[in-house]
Amino acid sequence: MIAGPLLLLTIPLVMAGIVYVLLRWASLSALLAVGTALALGIAVVTLPLDQPVHFWGERQIAMGEAVTFLGRELVLEQADRMAMAFLFLTAAGIFFLAWRVTPHSLLSPMGLGLLSLLSGALLIRPLIYAVLLIEIAAALSIFALQAEGQPPTRGGLRYLTFTTMALPGVLVTNWLLERYVLTPDEVGLLNAAAALLAVSFALLLGVVPFHTWVPAVAGDSVPLAGTFVLTISNGAAWFLLLDFLETYPWLNTHPYFGSLFSTAGLAMVVVGGLLAPAQRRLGALMGYSALVDSGGALVALGMHSRLGLTLALLSLLVRPFGLALMATGLSGLRARNGDDDSFDALRGLGWKAPWSTAVLVFGGLSVAGLPVSAGFTWRWSLCRALMPSSPGAALLLLLAGVGAMAGVWRGLSALLVRPRPPEGNRFPRVTPEGWLTAAVAIVAILACVGVGLFPQVLAPLAARLAETYTFLAP
């Protein structure tokens, strides 16, 4: 009998090696990467946890069986199932888009390796080992974030720095909690643990003032690799936070729980909403828009209710639609403009790269939370839920969405400027996008709009995922 958790760790790792070897053949390597992530994503939600499944002849897979690895237990629980399906399926989507826009980059092999590590982070018990695996994943993601022939990625370095700085807090927390079990009178240990956890997760999630890695990752890295970090790696950090809240219920009953999350979220919303329209580069605009999105999710968690948790989880499920679309458009535009994504350099490029422009705009709509886009589904519900109790927060959230959209509008204005013919009346040649890229762009846009028009597709999944966490009352 093969234990499921072991397969979830080893298959992506083995496939990462195979995809790396086959990287020269872009379509084949992309097919393998997409297929692996898709198959594992489907398997993790469809295979039963409580009974083994016949796989190949007499061989059986037991998804719910615990495995011991380096003396630590790896176990797939109900809450982690959905979380892991989210990681794998999002990765499949990103690999699919990367097939057209960054076909020979290290994103697919490194992404599969990262999936293995992040799966391990969600499966391993006790939780402190998870943060070590997330740290290893952060170091490995540098190889995917670094664009070939470009200066070193400042965003990657900052991401690694902030993740490393988050490591001590979580590790020491475990020791403090072990001591508290022995000496329950020392309440100060719990307060110290709560403070350390708060700072560590603020670093991991890019909460203001530790947010500088977020726009940097989006601004100067391979855009889809940046999206991988901002959705999948960041998603793993989110699920780790929820696991901590589930494992240690006293964190949830801490008097500052709601206000801490709300304040941190609103700070991100305000900073992102103010700085997004002021950006003069599309990459940085994407980063600040992502900051607003993350802030909104923290505000939702700060509501301290099952509805808030559902909305926070829905935001995680929906975020890849917006960010991946923006990153795809950004990659297409950068590739046709010597890797320069400043508004001045992009003037008029929208006419030569219409599909990249369209994908970028639809992604921007979703990240800003505007109607007819995936992001609208949770942002509007959050505003409605916040309106009776804290109308100021709802207003700030709406204004931040307008700010992000203003940034996208400025970018679109630059892209759609009618280019003046240069001297000699000859425009520089720009590589056409091709019908395959157009088809991929149409599929991505339809998926984003489809989720926006039919929120009943993802919302019940978020509600079911929220039900697996018991730390909040219904």
Contact residues toward other proteins (CB under 8 A) are: 70-72, 129, 132-133, 135-136, 139-140, 142-143, 146, 149-154, 156-157, 160-161, 164-165, 167-168, 171-172, 174-175, 219-220, 281, 284
| Token reading at 404 | 């992000």
Minimum distance from residue 267 beta carbon to other proteins (Å): 22
Shortest distance (Å) from residue 108 CB to other proteins: 17
**Could you give the CA distance from residue 24 to residue 194 in angstroms, rounded to a whole number?**
48
Residue placing its CB nearer to other proteins in the complex, 161 or 252: 161
Cβ-based nearer residue to other proteins, 159 or 469: 159
d(C-alpha 331, C-alpha 223), whole Å: 6
Residue 132 C-beta: closest distance to other proteins, Å: 4
| Least CB distance to other proteins at residue 375 (A) | 26
Strand runs labelled E in 127-220: none
CB 139 to other proteins: min, Å: 4
Check: CB of residue 53 under 8 Å from CB of residue 61.
Answer: yes
State the nearest-atom distance from the C-beta of 141 to other proteins, in Å.
9
> What's the min distance (Å) between Cβ of 218 and other proteins?
12
Nearer to other proteins, 129 or 355 (CB): 129
> Which segments of 47-77 does DSSP mark as H helices, in order?
none
- When the beta carbons of 73 and 467 are compared against other proteins, the nearer one is 73
Closest contact distance (angstroms) between CB of 2 and other proteins is 23
Q: How far apart are CA 313 and CA 257, in angstroms?
A: 18
Nearer to other proteins, 14 or 340 (CB): 340
Q: Which is nearer to other proteins, 83 or 134 (CB)?
A: 134
93 versus 169: smaller Cβ distance to other proteins: 169
Least Å from the CB of residue 75 to other proteins: 16
* Tokens (6 digits) for 166: 């988050």
Tokens of 333: 């535009």
> What φ, ψ does residue 462 adopt, rounded to 5°?
-65, -40
* Distance between CA atoms of residues 9 and 116, nearest Å: 5
Taking the complex as a whole, the smallest distance from the CB of residue 204 to other proteins amounts, in Å, to 15
Q: Are 124 and 74 in contact (CB under 8 A)?
A: yes
Whose structure tokens read 């003069």? 280
Residues 6+ apart with CB under 8 A from 46: none
For other proteins, the closer CB: 138 or 374: 138
Query: Cβ closer to other proteins: 208 or 440?
Result: 208
Amino acid at the residue 231: T
Closest CB to other proteins among residues 172, 463: 172
- Least separation, in Å, of the C-beta of 329 and other proteins? 19
CA angle 197, 201, 206 (to 5 degrees): 155
Residue type present at position 193: A
Question: Long-range CB contacts (< 8 A, 24+ apart) of 133-139?
Answer: 134/163, 134/204, 134/233, 134/236, 134/237, 134/240, 135/163, 135/164, 135/166, 135/167, 137/233, 137/236, 138/163, 138/164, 138/233
Listed residue (377, 401, 376, 372) closest to 461, CA to CA: 377
**Residue with smaller CB distance to other proteins, 123 or 313:** 123
Please list the alpha-helical segments (H only) found in 47-153.
78-101, 107-123, 128-145
Do the beta carbons of residue 411 and residue 345 sit within 8 Å?
no
Residues 6 or more apart whose Cβ sits within 8 Å of residue 331: 101, 102, 222, 223, 224, 356
The alpha-carbon radius of gyration of the chain (Å, integer) is 22
